[in-house]
Chain A
């Protein structure tokens, strides 16, 4: 039996990888992938915690998160396609029209 702390540690590591990816990557698709990693890190901790406490609510929440992530993937990829059509690039450093 793997102890709960291992699951949570893995989740924290995955989440940190996601955060760093979002903050540092320039490619919009990689940023997008990093967001997915963060979502799934959270999913992992939720599932681990519900299993440890014997409560199923967290698992139900995870299904919702997966559903939303699927929808988000569709919208997010559509945005990336639109960005590329406009600028012939997906480097988010080039998208700064809202600069003050």
Chain B
């Protein structure tokens, strides 16, 4: 499953040119998805690590190439492989060359590696490996200001990651037989001062990746300047790397620093308010979605930081939902931009009348984002708020604003762009069809299906979450 996209990437980079490349990429992505489904069917959700790969890599330094799937990893790998075909589909009408698809597929391998790695250095290598293709994607095919913006993004996240590497190194030094194995790193006991520094190293890396306030300054620019495919990868999957990192690496490895969580949580909920307020005032649709992403990720991070079952479970299902919704939203913004040649709300209007199918699908995905009952967002946010409420009342109160404020800015987009009269001289908005319809349709169906039947997903991760909580 991990090797498939990498192979596809090489084949595409070497053999395919032009339109064939995208077919080959779609084929690879679908094949990977099919394999994933196969794995998912055979998966037993008992919290153990399955299909483990464990090879000696650098035995002299206690580094092994170790991967394994538990419920959490399986969920996120599933999300990655589910979104990938959609991301490939969304660029079907663009003139991208083989290189683009090769990079996207390399990215897929790296992301799966991150979500399944059970060795510190394996994790770190995949973590950085994911950064290189997205940098090239965004800097090659992005907007006008792409070069400076992406360089800032790269250096910012790289600086964060090396701090994480130092934290890992410190823990490694404390293991009895000098190993980077996850189990062994978990077993390390630290005193209070050490724990604070190690936890900070991890937190900065993950907070930059998500991004949490105040480490978010790279995010709106990068999301806006990246091509839509890149933005989808960044927001749909890559930001989950940060949350996943908190869940699998920071909290279990340094439970001694759990008292810092309230500070981190304060940052997370501040970010929610801050980003929501900004999102309400913006004109550019893509930028609004970028800020909404900061707000949502803040809520998810706060849920993880409770380090309790409800919060963690809510965070997991909300990671899946956020991936689906945000990819849908960016796709919508791309569709609008393609037809109207602008993303500014003031210049849009009256689309719903011209494109009823589009309007319905947009509505479904928007409702999912706003977390209306019977959509996927509702399940996740309800669990998250419940978890937060049990943990810390004030955090839950502030975080509760997400739902209200989110409704404000999402409905604002809908109202300005879709309703009302079309502007003078604006191009006619042709309704969606073909690949656009497929991509948006699949996402909308998922929004409703997960909203109605969230239980299988919660069951998938329940045992693994319990295992992590035990490490507190």
Q: Do A and B bind each other?
A: no
